Amino acid sequence: MLDGKRILLIIGGGVAAYKSLDLARRLMERGASVRGVLTPGGQQFITPLSVASLTGDECYTDLFSLKDEAEMGHIRLSREADLVLIAPATADLMAKMANGLANDLASTILLATDKQVMVAPAMNAEMWAHKATQRNLETLKRDGVLMVGPGAGMLACGEVGPGRLAEVPDMVAAVEDFFAGGARPLSGKKIIVTAGPTHEPIDPVRYIANRSSGKQGFALAGALADLGADVTLVAGPVSQDTPIGVNRVDVQTALEMDAAVTTALPVDVAVCVAAVADWRMQAGTMGEKLKKSKDGIPALDLCENPDILKGLSSMSEGRPGLVVGFAAETEKVIEYARAKRERKGCDIIIANDVSDASGVMGGADNQVHVITGDGVDSWPTMSKQDVAVRLAQTIAGALDK
């Protein structure tokens, strides 16, 4: 897949630098040749010797090295590659790139190169979220720089959040995609994903809600975007970071979610992951806070919310080519989910056990059964991120049929 491709791998200063050694190996396994550049920060974590030993080439470290300049100047280094890959890319390196600074070997190469640059950022979550970093990210994307990751999860500093270096297989896949001509399987496809709970207000301070965290839907939206899809994520009230490359529309209620989905039509695929509240207040939100009274407990007069999944599945005109629903069950998971697929009229149902014992609701892992017209495919327990990546591939495969 990467036969004969020359990759210049710039390794920045971050704990994740050790992963780039594995990355170099995996790229070489696929036929690429890898030449390493190690920044002074990178050298605090791994040595030029390990990079050179693994790549079978010199590891370049110094802008003003007479030896390097005599043998291989930074201009040649930057040109004698088919792709310049920075992993891990620190906030500092991204800032330098975005502003055209060139005061060390890595930044000079990046300013001198006429080749595609791909960046795999890795940093503390606050540094990633900082306005300056996000501004630099936007600038780099506008400049045509490709991004891979970062993922979210446990960071070396002990904090949890976005900023983890993309996993090695994901970086390899991104490199392969680039050399495949950017022909990612979902390029040009429009996809809606609904995610999270909805909040149905009772009065100005109270609402009906559920425990959905939005994690699985957000991860799926990101994975679909990674495969090239143009994703609109209609999100209920959750505290999740928007995945890179995804258009997010925030809503509170089922009616708002339904309206946002309708606005985003037509689409090729609709994936309803949201745990939409089944009921809302019949007469709308009460204008004033409900008071306790001697007359007893107030009755909540509820009415049914629109079923977004069913609505999409049964569209007589302009139905999405593929409609995917989720079935969260606490017992007889497959049996109930099969019946749900029939009832809703969708093409695929992803069923999972959300009983308390499963720990799925709000948890990091998921175990799903993929139910189609052809039967049931039960996947092993894996992280919601991994479920998302595999589901995105399943969706791409189903569209291909």
What residues are labeled active site?
Answer: 157
| Residue 124 Cβ vs ligand C5P, minimum distance, rounded to whole Å | 34
Which amino acid belongs to residue 97? Answer: M
SS3 for 320-346, per residue? CCEEEEEEEECCCHHHHHHHHHHHHCC
User: Closer to ligand C5P at the Cβ: 51 or 271?
Assistant: 271
Q: Which stretch binds ligand C5P (CB under 6 A): 6-14, 38-46, 132-140, 324-332?
A: 324-332
Q: Which is nearer to ligand C5P, 145 or 272 (CB)?
A: 272
**Residue of 200, 307, 347, 353 that binds ligand C5P (CB under 6 A):** 307
Toward ligand C5P, which CB reaches closer, 60 or 326?
326
Instruction: Determine if 272 is a binding residue for ligand C5P (CB under 6 A).
Output: yes
Of these, 19, 325, 354, 368, which contacts ligand C5P (CB under 6 A)? Answer: 325
Could you list the beta-strand ranges (E) of 143-229: 146-147, 151-154, 160-164, 190-195, 200-201, 207-208
**The residue to which tokens 């306790």 are assigned:** 292
Using the rule CB under 6 A, give the single segment among 75-83, 91-99, 218-226, 325-333 that binds ligand C5P: 325-333
Residue number with CB closer to ligand C5P (105 or 220) = 220
Nearer to ligand C5P, 305 or 385 (CB): 305
Considering only 327, 361, 387, 396, the residue that binds ligand C5P (CB under 6 A) is 327
Q: What is the CA radius of gyration of the chain?
A: 24
Closest separation in Å from C-beta 312 to ligand C5P: 8
For CA atoms 92, 32, 168, 225, give the dihedral sign: positive
- DSSP secondary structure of 241-279: PPPTT-EEEE-SSHHHHHHHHHHH-S-SEEEE--B--SE
Quick one: which segment of 6-14, 49-57, 78-86, 305-313 binds ligand C5P (CB under 6 A)? 305-313
Residue 347: its H or E element: none
Residue 76's closest CA among 58, 51, 103?
58
* Site for ligand C5P contains 308 (CB under 6 A): yes
Backbone angles phi, psi at 78, to 5 degrees: -75, -20
Q: DSSP assignment, residue 189?
A: -
DSSP designation for 112? H
For ligand C5P, what does the binding mask look like between residues 215 and 254, x meaning CB under 6 A?
Answer: ---------------------------------------x
How many CB atoms are located within 10 Å of the residue 143 CB? Answer: 11
Q: Which two tokens stand for residue 67?
A: 């030896």
Q: Is 267 exposed, middle or buried (0-12, 13-18, 19+ CB in 10 A)?
A: buried
Binding residue for ligand C5P (CB under 6 A) from 60, 178, 218, 326?
Answer: 326
Compare residues 123 and 274 and give the one whose CB is closer to ligand C5P: 274
Q: How many residues does the chain have?
A: 401
Cβ–Cβ under 8 Å, residues 325 and 350 = yes
Pick the closer one to ligand C5P by CB: 269 or 272. Answer: 272
Euclidean distance between CA atoms 111 and 108, whole angstroms: 5
> 48-67 mask for ligand C5P (x: CB under 6 A)?
--------------------
Pick between residue 109 and residue 271 the one whose CB is nearest to ligand C5P: 271
CB of 247 to ligand C5P, least distance (A): 19
Residue 277 C-beta: closest distance to ligand C5P, Å: 7
Examine residue 32 and tell whether it contacts ligand C5P (CB under 6 A). no
Distance CA 149, CA 368 (A): 25
Work out which of 59, 84, 276, 361 binds ligand C5P, going by CB under 6 A.
276
Alpha-carbon distance 154 to 163, whole Å?
Answer: 9
Residues in binding contact with ligand C5P, number by CB under 6 A: 15
Distance of CA 107 to the CA centre of its chain: 28
Residues in the site for ligand C5P, rule: CB under 6 A?
194, 254, 272-274, 276, 305-309, 325-327, 340
